[in-house]
């Protein structure tokens, strides 16, 4: 029994070839906790559809919730929480929370919980809704890096949850009330210049329950060039979108340094056993004023996690911003729930980007050689086998002990009297 326990301990500790495992979820108040979603920043007066993609992906990968499962979305307010119905200005629709429209008072933390008789799991997301006259554009905008001379084509981001059929997307530059001419819902600049840098707002009207609602997004274009002081003349050709751009909107990026990826370092090799799980962290240092707008992304063989072959086994999430003594640190995690032979020599790239620049770090995924594990298991097994055989032969051939004979010693010259 002792030998069997030793073998099982070695096998379990080393993660025997072919035995899958998933990372344990932390538990709080009897409910498993999923890492928080990426924070959402929006403007009041617009429709917002709040989703929990990271939470839903964990449920899918772990095969926790059946398709007919019910979910409860609540808003946390200190020690109290508020649940929502399927009607009203704020309403829960299946796994989403709709704000029709949103107000600044809607800012806060929201949780989505799946619970049945035997299992409970919950995820959370932070929503920030700004008043239109006090919006923080650094947090609201999506950064877009470009170099002088290249062709740039914008699309209006984060609109997948809306029905955009028949909607006209209009683009505006900075605070100009005159819309630019859209091109199939995108905005194209054939040859970008530093004078094109600035804020671009895309705006459209969507129908929800047959009611029109406004939706907008902001893209921050940052243009890098060899001559940061140059202000080229922009042609006023009305056939192109850049005809409405003005040189006065040039945004200097000289005061903001590029983000620095401190972990992992370039050329890192992550080793993991077949059948195990892997959790990686990309840590980026940047200036606090652009920390929220700094985008940190994991790429698998130069593809997003969702578009790569790891789609069913991988997940990116758990973004966190931490203030340090000098600057801020932005972290984004990558989960691989099951390592297989297909992952050998996979390229993992962490990309960090903000209006100060961009940095890429490339690492490699490699399977550990399981030979050592099997050698240890074999040695323990052989040792136990030899021990058992030795005990068997010892018992079988143990010499027999002679029985003691009871006898009396008669003294010499002894006499008896009658």
Residue 7 confidence (pLDDT) above 50: no
- Condensed to tens digits (0 to 9), the pLDDT of residues 221-275 reads 888 775 444 333 333 333 344 443 433 333 334 467 788 898 888 888 888 888 7
- Condensed to tens digits (0 to 9), the pLDDT of residues 71-92 reads 899 998 665 677 888 889 999 9
Q: How confident is the model at residue 374 (pLDDT cuts 50, 70, 90)?
A: low
Q: At residue 2, what are phi and psi to the nearest 5 degrees? A: -65, -40
Is the CA virtual torsion 99, 104, 106, 108 positive or negative? positive
Q: What tokens appear for 70 in the block?
A: 């019910």
Task: Determine which of 75-84, 170-179, 314-323 has the lowest per-residue pLDDT on average.
Answer: 75-84
> Beta partners for 129?
42
Please report how many Cα atoms fall inside a 13 Å half-sphere around the Cα of residue 264, on the Cβ side: 21
Q: What tokens appear for 154 in the block?
A: 């914008």
Q: How confident is the model at residue 107 (pLDDT cuts 50, 70, 90)?
A: very high
pLDDT of residue 66: 64
Percentage of residues of the chain with pLDDT beyond 90: 15
Give the Cα separation of 121 and 81 in Å (integer).
17
CATH class of segment(s) 23-130: mainly beta
- Between residues 122 and 373, the one the model is more confident about: 122
pLDDT of residue 93: 92
CA-based radius of gyration for the chain: 33
- Condensed to tens digits (0 to 9), the pLDDT of residues 339-371 reads 888 888 899 999 988 877 888 889 988 887 655
**Domain 260-367, classified CATH 2.60.40.10, yes or no:** yes
- Condensed to tens digits (0 to 9), the pLDDT of residues 291-311 reads 888 889 899 998 888 788 887
Alpha helices in 94-182 (DSSP H): 137-140
Q: Do domains 137-249 and 260-367 have the same CATH topology?
A: yes
Q: Where are the beta strands (DSSP E) in 239-327?
A: 260-263, 269-272, 278-286, 295-300, 303-304, 314-323
Average pLDDT score, the chain: 76
Residue 116 confidence (pLDDT) above 70: yes
Give the Cα separation of 187 and 146 in Å (integer).
14
Domain 137-249: homologous superfamily in CATH? Immunoglobulins (2.60.40.10)
Residue 4 confidence (pLDDT) above 50: no
Q: What tokens appear for 391 in the block?
A: 């005990």
Q: What tokens appear for 239 in the block?
A: 């056939």
For the chain, domain boundaries = 23-130, 137-249, 260-367
Please report how many Cα atoms fall inside a 13 Å half-sphere around the Cα of residue 43, on the Cβ side: 19
pLDDT of residue 167: 79
pTM of the model: 0.58
């Amino acid at each position: 029994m002792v030998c069997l326990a030793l073998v099982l301990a070695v096998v379990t500790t080393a993660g025997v070839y072919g035995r899958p495992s998933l990372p344990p979820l932390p538990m709080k108040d009897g409910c498993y906790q999923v890492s928080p979603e990426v924070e959402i920043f929006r403007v009041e007066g617009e429709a917002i559809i709040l989703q929990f993609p990271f939470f839903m992906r964990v449920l899918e990968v772990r095969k926790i919730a059946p398709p007919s499962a019910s979910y409860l979305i609540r808003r946390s307010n200190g020690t109290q929480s508020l649940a929502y119905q399927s009607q009203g200005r704020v309403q829960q629709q299946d796994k989403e929370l709709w704000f029709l429209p949103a107000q600044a008072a809607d800012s806060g933390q929201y949780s989505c919980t799946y619970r049945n008789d035997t299992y409970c799991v919950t995820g959370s997301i932070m929503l920030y809704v700004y008043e239109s006259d006090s919006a923080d554009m650094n947090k609201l905008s999506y950064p877009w890096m470009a170099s002088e001379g290249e062709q740039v084509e914008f699309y209006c981001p984060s609109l997948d949850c809306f029905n955009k059929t028949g909607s006209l997307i209009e683009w505006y530059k900075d605070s100009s009330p005159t819309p630019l001419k859209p091109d199939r819902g995108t905005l194209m600049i054939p040859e970008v210049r530093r004078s094109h840098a600035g804020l671009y707002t895309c705006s459209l009207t969507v129908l929800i329950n047959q009611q029109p609602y406004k939706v907008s997004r902001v893209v921050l274009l940052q243009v890098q060039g060899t001559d940061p002081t140059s202000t080229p003349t922009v042609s006023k050709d009305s056939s192109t979108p850049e005809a409405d751009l003005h040189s006065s909107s040039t945004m200097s990026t000289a005061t903001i340094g590029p983000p620095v990826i401190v972990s992992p370092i370039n050329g890192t090799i992550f080793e993991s056993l077949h059948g195990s799980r892997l959790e990686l962290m990309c840590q980026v240092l940047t200036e606090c004023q652009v920390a929220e707008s700094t985008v940190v992304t994991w790429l698998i063989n130069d593809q997003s996690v969702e578009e790569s072959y790891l789609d069913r086994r991988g997940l990116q999430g758990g973004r966190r911003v931490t203030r340090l003594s000098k600057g801020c640190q932005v972290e984004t995690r990558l989960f691989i729930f099951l390592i297989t032979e297909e992952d050998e020599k996979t390229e993992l790239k962490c990309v960090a980007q903000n209006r100060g620049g961009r940095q890429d770090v490339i690492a490699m995924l490699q399977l550990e050689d399981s030979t050592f594990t099997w050698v240890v298991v074999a040695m323990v097994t052989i040792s136990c086998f030899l021990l058992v055989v030795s005990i068997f032969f010892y018992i079988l051939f143990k010499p027999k002990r002679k029985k003691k004979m009871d006898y009396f010693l008669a003294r010499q010259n002894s006499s008896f009297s009658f």
